[in-house]
Structure 1
Amino acid sequence: MPSNEQRRAAAKRKLERQLVRRAEQEKKRKRLVIAGSVLGVIVVAAAGVGVYFLTRGDDEASTTAESSSQVPTTTFVNTPLELPGPPPPAVKPATVDCAYPAGREPAKPVTAPATTTVATDGPEVKLAIDSTQGPIGLTLSSAQAPCTVNSMVSLAEQGYFDNTSCHRIVASPGFGILQCGDPAATGGGGPGYTFDNEYPTDLYPLGDPALQTPVNYQRGVVAMANAGISPEGDGTNGSQFFLVFGDTELPPNYTIFGTIDEAGLATLDKVAGAGVQGGARDGAPAMPISFNSVKVA
């Protein structure tokens, strides 16, 4: 039987072997950590080189192209609403009298339309918008909204919309609009006068509950923005309007006065594909869009 001294010597040798194994394991672990770190640096560097070559583009590209490419875009897909559109417009007299009472200080110097007796059976009016993101063509209908069209033509001829920004976009299922027409780009600017709603509001008596029942403002229409209707029926239309690129659910309180051409819808789809600044649902467009000029074609 081993003596106590022999047992102590054996335990000492066992402990020494364990310490040696632990030291070797620690050295091995450190070598693996160092190797992993070096490999990680290599992978990151390689990824950085790959991103550089994928995104550096053509050195000859313009500044505008470079800034536009930084905004991610997708194809906007309209989600058609099953909700019916407003009823067909009512037949109007051959001429109507329009009123443009003075309002707040204009956002840009302009005068109210000089002509207030307006024909409803004239030819359709074309507006050509040269925007920073592409052309937008509008066809305006005096048969539907003669006073609105009269105001829009007057403002365009005075250069009111030139060099102005579209300040608001909403791009989601059931709502797709780009709001423009405010030279101040705040949502509060106007031409210094107001006028009443027309189609489809004029199809309903004042106070009719149907004025609060949503209808489908279908993709491709252009309508006026406003600040609501007074209890007396006075309208608050000015210069702001919205271009509808996706079927939109709204009460019939916004005057529809024309349509957008296919080139214009393509431009709007591009802007809508970039979404809203900050990823919000409603706000400034992530892809800024301004009107260089708006002219009667």
Structure 2
Amino acid sequence: MDSFSLRCLIGVVLSLAIAARAHKRRSLDLSGAIAGFLVMSIHFAASYRYGAMLLAFFFSSSKLTKVGQEKKRSIDEDFKEGGQRNWIQVLANSGLAAILSIVTSAMTNGQDKCLDANESKVVTALVGGIIGHYACCNGDTWSSELGVLSNAQPRLITTLKPVKKGTNGGVTLQGLVAAAAAGFVIGITYVMVGLLTTKCDADVTWRQLLVVPLALAAGLCGSLIDSFLGATLQFSGYCSLRKKVVSRRLPTVTKISGIDILDNNAVNAVSVFLTTVLTSFACLHIF
């Protein structure tokens, strides 16, 4: 069995087990479990590193979602017990990376390649995009899940004025540090798994270590982009009836910030796309 076929087999078996477990533990609903199985299988078939980054994002985010649930219930208008995700949220957080994984694998005939612009600028840009994608997703999730638990009052990223917790675009120092840490986790996952599974020339291998600070920066940058979009293109208002910040205009809601153009899923998708593109360009200059 060649390496590509082996990755496909391992990907299918592992993805099925993880998706079933996530559905049982209510991290994913049925549609999310099916979508998760498909995108996870694609990631592992293309590269163990892509699959590992997806799992680092999924497991860490799922754990953090369950931290401080009582406090989050009082703040989040769309709070779900266990943070259960559906197929839309799964694809918003992994769909683009799955497409990039397929294209990269097709261009390399199923071979797992290191970041090396001297060998292929296109492949390097695509792999960099996958790294940026998960650094952004992880950064945004860690920032949201841990930032909301901060004792500090958030400030709107566009004006730095204090706002209520739960306001789209509100940031805290704790949330920003969490975003950077989340990007670091993605970077170190890529490097460590790559050292174990991917063979490259010695000088190319050592250069892969630069992925760690790059992913850290992408996690922070992605969170900042997400916050800026949330503060400007996503409506936030305080509902006097529910006593919490909401994202819908109602007679009982007083506007805090933003205009009603994007919802939360759209904000996430746009920020992921922009961070993916920026990281791709950065990789062309670094590697």
Task: Report TM bin, short chain.
Answer: under 0.3
- Normalized per residue, the structure richer in helix is 2
TM-score after normalising by structure 1: 0.23
Larger Rg: 1
- Normalized per residue, the structure richer in strand is 1
Kindly indicate whether structure 1 or structure 2 has the higher relative contact order, using CA contacts under 8 Å at least 6 residues apart. Answer: 1
TM-score after normalising by structure 2: 0.24
